[in-house]
Structure 1
Amino acid sequence: MPLKHILGADHVVVTVRDLDASARAWGLLGFTVSPRGTHSPHLGTGNYTIMFGEDYLELLGVLTETDQNKPTRDFLAKREGIERTAFTTDDAAGGAAELKARGLEPLGPVHFGRPVDLPGGGTGEAKFNVFRWPLDQNPGGMRIFACQHLTRETVWIPELQSHANGARRIARIEILSADPEAAAKKMAGLIDEPATKTPDGWRVPSGGKRADFLFYDAAGFAARYPAAVREGAAAEGAVAIVIATGDLAKAKAASAAIAHGEETVSVPAARANGVVISFIPN
């Protein structure tokens, strides 16, 4: 039975050691970065978001050690970068129940929130219910979870959705694996989507019109990106985010990206907390 409550990729979590420094760095790449948020105390984390049309990027840092953020601290002990991807869910409790029916033990649902500075003045609150797949269910080394937005109006704020680099949406999340076929099929089984062999690796849609996942090996990574772009990237796990932009020339100018291939410009991983950021035409 297909998962009824998983609706495609919602956001990508880039975990960083210096939260404020990362916000400045991504701002210099032409992204409009939200004001800093602080999550509920039991999470012990803070964030900045980079909002697009239906999805977004999250820069996440640990502010206080808690049981909830131990997996993030374990990740940061090894590296910065893409720690996990969230899927949109319309019912976190229902989604968690679907995993249980498949013999998996989800973590959650967990409810939390964070205050939001509103553009017209004053403060609102962003509220969420989330659940996670078990920690050992991490295709290609990337953890996955699902997020139910209870207050979309305090997250998708129009003033935050316009970017100097023309960014509009996440087109693809790319994962480097020693066995991309196995990792892709693992992801496919966890979210009930097909894994398809393509000339550039194994692709798995996240659902609907949202971003795809692309799994490749070291040779595939090298074929997609020149060495100058790959510098600073991890040796395995999620390594790249492909962003669709409405103006490729604007993206190149705003981010000082490197042009390569056909209609592609990319920011080296060393400039973005270990993440290759690649821009393609929308």
Structure 2
Amino acid sequence: MGARLQTRDREAEGGKQRRAVKRRCEESSSSDTVGMVRHLVPLILLLAILSHSSYATDISVRIERHFPCSVSSGPKKENLLIKFPSYKTAGVEFHEETNAQGHKCFRMSGGKVEVFPPGLSGSKKYYVHLETRIGIHGKPERCVNADSNGCGGIGSCVHCDICQSMGGSLKNFVQIFQGNKPAQCSSQGLPAGNYNDLSLKVCLPTKNELLPFLDQNASRAEQLWDLFVSSRARSGEIPLVIAARIFNRPINQLSPKEMNDLLHDSKDGMIGCHWIYATVSQQS
């Protein structure tokens, strides 16, 4: 009898130890994964919430202001070829819409878009580096899931041939439209002049496109998503800063160092730039 009790005690103690080890491993794994989430995709997750219908009534976004970049953050003065109007211009608005892939998009329209001499050549392809961050002093998000050519993806990524419809679920996040169609600036070009029908369109990824980046396990990914949403909602309003820099040369195969030098030093091929400041908040 005493031997059986001792055996049961040892088994019970062993079970406790195994459960404790398992719990520590899970906590460690969860902590590592949460750390990855906070480092890699906090802003992108936040943006995706806006385009997921189940959160549409809980989260609101306001475009506070937007304006052309200064010479310090945008193209050199002599290289500026396209300039979108600022929020102070009468009639300029951001309209919300949904594209064919189900992404929530914001299109800036109204006002006058200036194209400077010699205009945009129809023999070139145009690229946008979309820098995204939380707050003015936040670090730019890393780009994840770009294709084999370095195009598309989620985060601070390069969007290729923005005057064409490229297809793919993680592409077409940034486009220049003329009327209701992508501008034909890579085939017909855009002569110098003032345009009232040009607009800049920025789209957001969906929740389902982002969950695999959090964890390959669907259940754990959902838990991490809920954790992120609840913790961010308690913090109140979250400022978002987006910089869209337009280039007339390929920039999709650059290393991080080369990209940083291009954006902030040489600016080779940069022909336009626009800042967008927004606030995301939890609705009561």
Larger RCO: Structure 1 or Structure 2 (Cα < 8 Å, ≥ 6 residues apart)? 2
Q: Determine if the TM-score, normalized by the shorter chain, exceeds 0.5.
A: no
Identify, as 1 or 2, the structure richer in strand. Answer: 1
- Taking structure 2 as the reference length, the TM-score comes to 0.22
Identify, as 1 or 2, the structure richer in helix. Answer: 2
> Greater Rg, structure 1 or structure 2?
2
